[in-house]
Amino acid sequence: MMVYYNDYWDYYSELLAEKYPARKTAIHSAIDAHRSFAPAGYSLSIPVFLAQTDGIFSEVTGISSAMDKVRGQNAIKGSQWLSTQIAADEKAIGSLLPVLELHELDILKSQRAREAKVQETGKVFNALNRHQVIHGEVSDYGTEINSMKAFSFLLFGALHLPGILEGAKQRSAQNE
pTM for this predicted structure: 0.89
Cα separation, 98 vs 116, in Å, equals: 21
Q: What is the pLDDT of residues 98-124, one digit of tens each?
A: 777 777 789 888 888 899 999 999 999
User: Residue 176: is its pLDDT beyond 70?
Assistant: no
Q: Which contiguous run of DSSP H or E holds residue 175?
A: helix 161-175
pLDDT band at 20 (very low <50, low <70, confident <90, very high): very high
Phi and psi at 76, nearest 5°, equal -95, 140
Q: Are 128 and 46 in contact (CB under 8 A)?
A: yes
Q: CA of 15: how far to CAs of 22, 88, 149, 157, in Å?
A: 13, 30, 18, 13
User: Residue 49: is its pLDDT beyond 80?
Assistant: yes
Own/partner long-range contacts of 78-84 (Cβ < 8 Å, ≥24 apart):
78/102, 79/103, 82/165
User: Residue 12: is its pLDDT beyond 70?
Assistant: yes
pLDDT band at 163 (very low <50, low <70, confident <90, very high): confident
Question: How far apart are the two ends of the chain, measured CA to CA in Å?
Answer: 40
